[in-house]
Structure 1
Amino acid sequence: MGQPAAAVMEIGLRVLGLGLWGAVLLQSTLGGRLDLLLRADFHPLVGGSGVLLLGLALLDLGLTLSGRRARSMGPVLGQRRRQLVWLLAAGCALAVLALPPNPSFANLAANRPSEQLEEPELSFVLPPAQRSLTDWVRLLRSQPDPALHAGDPVRISGFVLPQPGDRPQLARLLVRCCLADATPVGLAVRWPPGRQPRADQWLELQGVMGVERHGEQLRNVVIPRRITPIRRPARPLEP
């Protein structure tokens, strides 16, 4: 392959790579995929990056069609290396489009320390029946006496998080930015006899808050009276 032909191929691969990654970012933003990976505050940044990549691809294509790009290309050996890089980039983008990520929250939470959670000061406490799982976790950590909340009604939702040496919890993931900094928070649940929920299953629990002994200490535990399987929420990550 001569140098002009190699230069044209490199440009074509670069345009393809930029365009496909731009399409990945835009599809992820518009299709709701980012809700599984990233806080909503950052979604416009991803969508804007996708538009920028598509714009660069169109600009590169326009310069190529006008005949002003190929004359500036380097040696054929360097072109072949760059062709391979852009071919790999395009292949990765196609793989993401064809096989979108579907993260396991339970597997991720099992490898993330919950002790890193920084608790804000509670300036307002919702009525028990209106508290989310995260609201309950923050409240119980700020008021550690389990007896204070015994008998309160509970209605929460989350995913099942197995606990080594203990019953599975119902949990959520808190994020500052994305799944990379996710912190799991969960509540102990006294599951009905014979009920063994599977990891990653999303459930809604309605019941009351109870107290039980766990090792040398007392802790709060959700006593469910109704367990309802639900779909994973469109936005499962919480700030």
Structure 2
Amino acid sequence: MNRQSQAAVMFLLGAALLHAGNTDLYLRYVKAGLRPLLLASGAVLIAAALATVWYERRSNRRRGHTHDHPEPKVSWLLLLPLLALILIAPPALGSYSALRSGTALQKPYTYDALPAADPAPLSVIDYASRAAYDHGRSLHGRTVRVTGFLALDPSGAPYLVRMALNCCAADAQPVKIALTGELPPVLRPDAWLEVTGTYTPGLTRDPVNNGPIPYLKVTSARPVPVPPDPYDETWNK
């Protein structure tokens, strides 16, 4: 792989990063807040590739001839992650990962005021932290709406789950809500549901790490498409 080929690979990688950053594809890899850095990285790679081509052409004109030293053929393997990024959009982590990892629920520093809408739209993390650590004080007398995917433990107990990110999909961890009440007759793991319900006291414990899993009493549930951003970034405030 000569310098021109290296520049071409660099250009394609930069273009792939720009494509991912300008679509929802990047949300399968990193959290939404990193989008500006992803776009900047793509732009820098493209600029570096163009600068490399310009420098090589100018050097060749000065020398009057070129003599490319052979590069190890294994260097072409650098194209494999590039092709994977372009051709394969990995699915978001689902119930298989969620049931093999303990809940990552943590006590937040503060709680925002509950949305005035009825039902109040809450993230899985927001509902779970209010129910587990605030003893549901802000949830009493309110109907909430939460969206996540289904996970069924070995006994068939259903959980509404959202994988939460610190940085990227590699560090994703689940936050779980145990579901009771009016559940659909058929529960399919990894199906996404919009659940409406009310707070109910009590906690169960995650068998993986003994972390708290609060309950939500379901009054209605409906299937929804996988959201553009399948991960939840609502960590400690």
CA change 1:91–1:168 in 2 (3 A) is same
Alpha-carbon shift at residue 233 of structure 1 (Å):
1.6
Describe the SS at the equivalent of 2:110: coil
Q: Which residue is 2:209 aligned to?
A: none
Q: Which residue is 1:171 aligned to?
A: 161
CA change 1:62–1:213 in 2 (3 A) is closer
CA change 1:166–1:63 in 2 (3 A) is same
Describe the SS at the equivalent of 2:92: coil
CA change 1:75–1:191 in 2 (3 A) is farther
AA aligned to 1:136 is Y
Measured in 2, the distance between the counterparts of 1:31 and 1:70 equals 42
Aligned mate of 1:227, from 211, 214, 221: 221
Equivalence map 1:58-207=2 (5 Å): 58-68=50-60, 76=69, 79-81=70-72, 83-85=73-75, 87-114=76-103, 116-126=104-114, 129-132=119-122, 133-144=124-135, 152-190=142-180, 192=182, 195-207=185-197
Aligned mate of 2:18, from 18, 26, 31: 26
Aligned mate of 1:35, from 23, 27, 33: 27
Larger Rg: 1
Measured in 2, the distance between the counterparts of 1:69 and 1:228 equals 67
> Unaligned 5+ residue runs, structure 1?
1-8
* TM-score between the two structures when normalised by the length of structure 2: 0.77
Measured in 1, the distance between the counterparts of 2:182 and 2:120 equals 23
Identity of aligned residues (%): 24
Q: Is the 8 A contact 2:204 2:214 kept in 1?
A: no
AA aligned to 1:176 is N
Q: Is the 8 A contact 2:165 2:231 kept in 1?
A: yes
Aligned length: 221
Describe the SS at the equivalent of 2:2: helix
Superposition RMSD in Å: 3.2
CA change 1:11–1:124 in 2 (3 A) is closer
Of Structure 1 and Structure 2, the greater helix share is in 1
Moved more, 37-46 or 99-108: 99-108
Deviation per residue, 1:93-115 (Å, 9 max, x gap): 1232112222333233334332x
Measured in 2, the distance between the counterparts of 1:70 and 1:99 equals 43
Deviation per residue, 1:30-66 (Å, 9 max, x gap): 0121123212221111111111111111111222233
CA change 1:98–1:52 in 2 (3 A) is same
Measured in 1, the distance between the counterparts of 2:95 and 2:146 equals 17
> Unaligned 5+ residue runs, structure 2?
206-212
Measured in 2, the distance between the counterparts of 1:148 and 1:32 equals 33
* TM-score between the two structures when normalised by the length of structure 1: 0.77
Alpha-carbon shift at residue 211 of structure 1 (Å):
5.1
Measured in 2, the distance between the counterparts of 1:226 and 1:191 equals 9
Please identify runs of 4+ aligned residues in structure 1 that moved more than 6 A.
none
Moved more, 21-30 or 197-206: 197-206
